[in-house]
A = this chain, B = another copy of it.
Amino acid sequence: MKFRKVDGGVTAAKGFTAAGLYCGIKKKEKKDLALIYSEVPAVAAGMFTQNRFQAAPVKITRDHLADYNAQAIICNSGNANACSGEQGAQDAHRMTELTAQLLQLQPEDVVVASTGVIGQNLPMDKIEAGIRSIAGQLTPTGGQDAAEAIITTDLTLKVTAYSLEIGGKTVTVGGMAKGSGMIHPNMATMLGFVTTDCAISGKLLQQALAYTVERSYNLITVDGDTSTNDMVVVLANGVADNTSITAESEDYHRFLMLLQRVNSELSQKIVRDGEGATKFLELTVKHAASFADGKTLARGVLSSNLVKTAFFGEDANWGRIVSAMGQTDVEFYPERVDVFLGDLQVTAYGQGLVFDEEKAKEILQQKDIRITVDLHMGDENVTAWGADLSYDYVKINASYRS
C-alpha cells in the first residue's frame, strides 16, 4: 500500500483546525491548553484506560462518545483532574459546556481530556479564560501548537500523518500523542488524538480504533504502569468525500492500515521518549498460537526489570528473556524456543548456544535493538516495543513532587 507521509499532525486531514496556548496551569510559561475542531460534524471513537481509578474527563468523554459523535477536543496539561472528587466531575463538565457554547456545539459533542498532577482540582478561572481565548485562535496549521500544549515532561513532540487513496479519494489520518513523563506528582498519562477526513460509520471507526490500538499503544511498555487518564480518540469528518465506509470492505481494510500506520508511529514515538530510555527494543514473538499469547509474552519480556537492565548494560542475557516468558501464563514449549538478538541466534531448542560475543556486543551497542523469539507453535507473529531501564529512569521517578 502506498502511504504518503504528510505534515500537519491533527490538522493534516481536511476540515480540521486546532490551537494551543498557555493559560496558567503550568508553573513555567509552557503551552497547557489545546483545542481541536472539525469544521463539520464528525463521527468519533475512543479507547480508555483500564485503570479502576478513572479521571473525571475519562468518564465524561466515554459518555459523550456513546453516540459516536464529536466535533471538538479540549485538553489541558499540568493537572490530570484525577482523584479530584465531585468538584473534578463538575469542572470537566464545565470545560465541555464552555467549549460547546463558544463553538456553537452541544456539550455532548465535545471530548475533554486532562494530564498532569493528580489529586488536585483544576484552576477553573484560568482554564475558562483560556478556553474563551483559544476558541478564537483555531487555524488549519494549529496542529503543532496543539501538540505542544498536551505534553508534560515529554522531551519530544509526537506528531505524524499519512495519506492513502481510498475509494479513489485521498484520505488523510493525522495524529498527536503525549506520554512518558511525570516528574511532578503523579503519573504518566498517555494521550492520543487522531483526526481523519475519511467518511466512515461510527461503529466501524470504533472497530478500527480498537483493532489498531490493540496493535500499537497496547503493545508498548515503558514501565508497566497504566495511568488513570489514558485515552485515544479519533474524529472522522468525511471531508475527503470518499464513499462512506459502512462495511468491512476493501476500503475499510485500507483505512485500517492507514490508521494502523499512524497509531504505530505515535506509539513508538512514546517509547523512544520513554523516561530515561537509552535503548529502543523491538521484540517479535514468532509463530505464537494466538495474537493474545504473543502479546502477553512480548509485553512480559519487555516489562521485566531484569531484561530491561540487561539491555541497559548491553548484556546478551538471553536467560532473562526466556525466564520472563516462562513466568507468564501462556502455554508454550520451552524446548522449542529459539531466541535471536538482531540476526544472531543465541538460544536453540530452549538451550543456550555458543555465540560470537563480539557480534553480540556490536548488536547491543546500537540504540535500536531487534529481539526475536520463535515459539514454533502457530501462525501469529506479534511485535511489541519497549525501553531499557537506566539510572535516569530511577532518577526521574525518585524526584520529589516539589
Contact = CB atoms under 8 A, between A and B. Distances in A.
A118 B346 CA distance: 13
Contacts of A315: 398-401
Interface stretch (A107-115, A220-228, A265-273): A220-228
A382 to B, nearest CB: 18
A342 interface: no
B187 A224 contact: no
A390 interface: yes
A170 interface: no
B228 A309 contact: no
A320 B53 CA distance: 11
Interface residues of A, number: 64
Contacts of A401: 315-317
A324 to B, nearest CB: 7
A390 B391 CA distance: 8
B185 A394 contact: no
Interface in A326-341: 326-328, 330-332, 334
Contacts of A225: 304-306, 320, 323-324, 327
A151 B224 CA distance: 30
Given A320-B186, A351-B85, A306 B228 contact: no
Judged by DSSP, the binding face of A is loop
Contact of A323 (B84, B85, B226, B397): B226
B305 A224 contact: yes
Contacts of A389: 305, 394
Contacts of A309: 393-394, 397-398
Contact of A398 (B119, B310, B330, B350): B310
A352 B52 CA distance: 16
Contacts of A185: 317, 319
Contacts of A182: 306
Contact of A306 (B187, B306, B330, B349): B187
Contacts of A304: 224-225
Contact of A51 (B186, B303, B326): B326
A159 interface: no
Nearest to A331: B52
A163 B54 CA distance: 49
A123 interface: no
Given A322-B83, A391-B391, A394-B389, A399 B223 contact: no
B312 A398 contact: yes
Interface in A84-98: 84-85
A393 to B, nearest CB: 7
Contact of A320 (B187, B331, B334): B187
A116 B381 CA distance: 33
A48 to B, nearest CB: 13
B394 A390 contact: yes
B393 A325 contact: no
A300 to B, nearest CB: 10
8 contacts: A83-B351, A120-B352, A186-B317, A187-B320, A312-B394, A313-B399, A390-B394, A393-B394
Given A53-B323, A85-B349, A315-B398, 14 more contacts: A54-B326, A118-B323, A118-B352, A182-B306, A224-B303, A225-B306, A225-B320, A226-B323, A305-B393, A305-B397, A309-B398, A314-B400, A390-B394, A394-B394
